[in-house]
Structure 1
């Protein structure tokens, strides 16, 4: 189940970045579940990762390898998270990296590993490593869609986005894929994302741009309030276009930053729209807050409330649940008489209670939509923050109850 049509745009190849997908049978025989990505020499790579303290072995290795060298290859397996596997799991991830490194003739620390799937089970390296050559044989700049399918787990559809813009006669491309449907919470949520561009960007600036964009996109989505052990989001700049993005060229810097934000937001929102069991895509906007922290605190209180989420699933305009979540969000000295809450274009709360003129039928009309916006106006300042979430359905419970079956 997913919200919206899920149609994908044309996925433009990115010069200097190739992807190859094959089947290793990690969990399901015959499933396309192993992806290798090859990065051209001279490219730069940046990454942001889960803030879960129990981070998986691949995340630990990615962080370590990125400190030593710019990567030449990324390798992704689905079906097994290789998390909670101790020293053995760490060595298993290194063994997979070594298999890729030996096949490509590069150093071990030039390979970054990624895993997603069930936590606490041994990584079947005996199936993954023999499949590496087939992934290499499949490498192509047009491999984005196969890779988008190859990195999915409980996702019901692939997630990808691509755009191009002209800068002084040169076409600059950004293309990306993501996966995730459950165990999604801000601070890098079970998600993986890979975005590549043919722009040239110095490594430190690339990291800064990725961190900023991820904070506004992937760190603003939540499905169930669980932060995964394996979340990773990577940005690769191959430089093949010959156009260099720098902060001194403010025009290009702004245009590229806007393009990156659009790609990242599309990929992040696609995860929400494909949330496990989701029937609603919900935008929660907190306006006129005193600062960003209290705006986000309020938005997440509503987004994580099981009572609000189940009301959304039932299309029940039970506005009292939203009001209660705002009240316990922890905003200091909140003036409840000053705030307003809107459900779509219908004001549901003002002057400390039910809005004058509000009708159940008006609320019902909004709650029956697939796309719903909840606006919370605190009237305390000029800060605004937005998060995106889903409802909580019976299917979510079934999917996660049967996940290891």
Structure 2
């Protein structure tokens, strides 16, 4: 790893270069992608860079009705696309057939014009959808909208609408379902991301093979707190879209996504800042829901609990994979750190402690400095009120390397260990490692995980001048 040395006053600052993250993006076989979808990414001119993909389109072409679910930011300043997508999902009772996304401009805090522009994007994308005679006429748009980029600026809406329009039959159409099409769509999500975040997998339910694929983006302004749209408690940003060819009822799709997001996207942090645009969308078009030539009913928690639990588990594992990619691509990040808190009275307690450790500036700067400063971890832990008293004489802290080698306990049952500094340096020099905090509640209690990264000088540079 190369190092740059800068002089500042009388001290010397050593700056580690940010490691390349391109290896996290690899080609995916076409057979892994779900059927019944067409996607692309195109250049509209929202981004200044010539040819940069900045508008993505995703269409469900299945003859079956497509179930849709979402989790949106709980930020009070919800962006226009969040407001519009919530409305569309509500009016269509959990159904949607398309997604349109733009990067380069968040369309957030843009007033009435922002709402009008988001509607225009949705309706222009509706025109790309193939007619579906088996579906009842929609009462509103069938397209969900996402935007990401700088807050407080209006979209160059005419450019975006023209780019969407280019995907109608003609020489400029690039819609497809091969790896190139999925990759183009994933690239259209990107802002300060250094690589497109795209994953796919296969899974089986009741002897039928289904596929799931998805993409997300995010590198800064990452500390999501998302909830379902109106169905329950409710610059850069986190966006994600997941597609499956399984058939799931809208209510069960939403329940599965809400559960999965809490354990994945709501469990990551780059800088502790919640965006105005955070959105995760999930489409299930049922295109592969067939057995022995018979179309299967939609999976529903109430009628087939076992099948629903399998889907929920697959979705949760998949969203965790996507969420981790966001942290790995954290702005200026040199470390990927798993924070595990166990022995807590409740899952909520464990999750809150893990979140506090993951967002502590003192912890994150120590990680960058490769300093096993467990006192900072302990201070963050003790600052969180729990549902029952914390017994400090039962708390333990351990640094766990990702290479399977010997862990390093630094605190056991409230008593500090004599730390092997050389071993600590070995572990913290790794790109991946774990901070394990045991609150000492025994085995019959809850565990939660958070994924975070370090704070580097590069993070300050990027966010000191977004235009860079």
On whether the aligned pair clears a TM of 0.5, the verdict is: yes
Coarse TM-score class (shorter-chain normalised):
over 0.9
In structure 2, the residue matched to 1:153 is 191
The residue correspondences of 1:99-138 to structure 2 (distance < 5 A) are 99-102=124-127, 104=129, 109-136=141-168, 137-138=173-174
1:358 to 388, 409, 419: 419
The one of the two structures with greater contact order (alpha-carbon pairs below 8 A, sep at least 6) is 1
* Secondary structure, aligned partner of 1:185: coil
How many pairs are equivalent? Answer: 404
C-alpha distance in 2, partners of 1:59/1:240? 27
* Secondary structure, aligned partner of 1:32: coil
* Secondary structure, aligned partner of 1:358: coil
For each residue in 1:88-140, what CA deviation from the matched residue of structure 2 results, as whole angstroms up to 9, or x when unmatched?
Answer: 11112122223333455887522221110000011110211111122442221
In structure 2, the residue matched to 1:399 is 462
Q: Which moved more, 1:118-127 or 1:36-45?
A: 36-45
1:8 to 17, 21, 26: 26
Q: 1:273/1:123 Cα in 2 relative to 1: closer, same or farther (>3 Å)?
A: same
Question: Aligned-pair distance for 1:239?
Answer: 0.5
For each residue in 1:312-369, what CA deviation from the matched residue of structure 2 results, as whole angstroms up to 9, or x when unmatched?
Answer: 01111222211221222234632222110111111101243422x4322222221111
1:237 to 279, 284, 294: 284
In structure 1, the residue matched to 2:231 is none
C-alpha distance in 1, partners of 2:66/2:422? 56
* Secondary structure, aligned partner of 1:178: strand
Question: Aligned-pair distance for 1:228?
Answer: 0.4
Cα contact 2:128–2:167 (8 A) shared by 1: no
TM-score (norm 2): 0.82
Question: Aligned-pair distance for 1:26?
Answer: 0.5
Q: Which runs of 5+ in 1 are unaligned?
A: none
Q: Which moved more, 1:284-293 or 1:248-257?
A: 248-257
2:263 to 193, 204, 216: 216
Q: Which moved more, 1:345-354 or 1:161-170?
A: 161-170
2:392 to 336, 360, 364: 336
C-alpha distance in 1, partners of 2:378/2:167? 52
Cα contact 1:21–1:135 (8 A) shared by 2: no
Moved over 6 A (4+): none
Question: Aligned-pair distance for 1:291?
Answer: 1.3
The residue correspondences of 1:50-129 to structure 2 (distance < 5 A) are 50-69=73-92, 70-102=95-127, 104=129, 109-129=141-161
Q: Which moved more, 1:199-208 or 1:312-321?
A: 312-321
Question: Aligned-pair distance for 1:2?
Answer: 5.7
Cα contact 1:155–1:180 (8 A) shared by 2: yes
Cα contact 1:179–1:192 (8 A) shared by 2: yes
C-alpha distance in 2, partners of 1:205/1:22? 33
For the pair 1:346 / 2:408, whether they are aligned, the reply is yes
Larger relative helix fraction: 1
Q: 1:6/1:386 Cα in 2 relative to 1: closer, same or farther (>3 Å)?
A: same
C-alpha distance in 1, partners of 2:262/2:38? 27
Cα contact 1:163–1:259 (8 A) shared by 2: no
TM-score (norm 1): 0.94
C-alpha distance in 1, partners of 2:201/2:114? 37
Q: Which moved more, 1:67-76 or 1:195-204?
A: 67-76
Question: Aligned-pair distance for 1:388?
Answer: 0.6
C-alpha distance in 2, partners of 1:252/1:101? 32
Q: Which runs of 5+ in 2 are unaligned?
A: 1-17, 132-137, 227-235, 290-295, 401-406
C-alpha distance in 1, partners of 2:456/2:287? 45
RMSD: 2.0
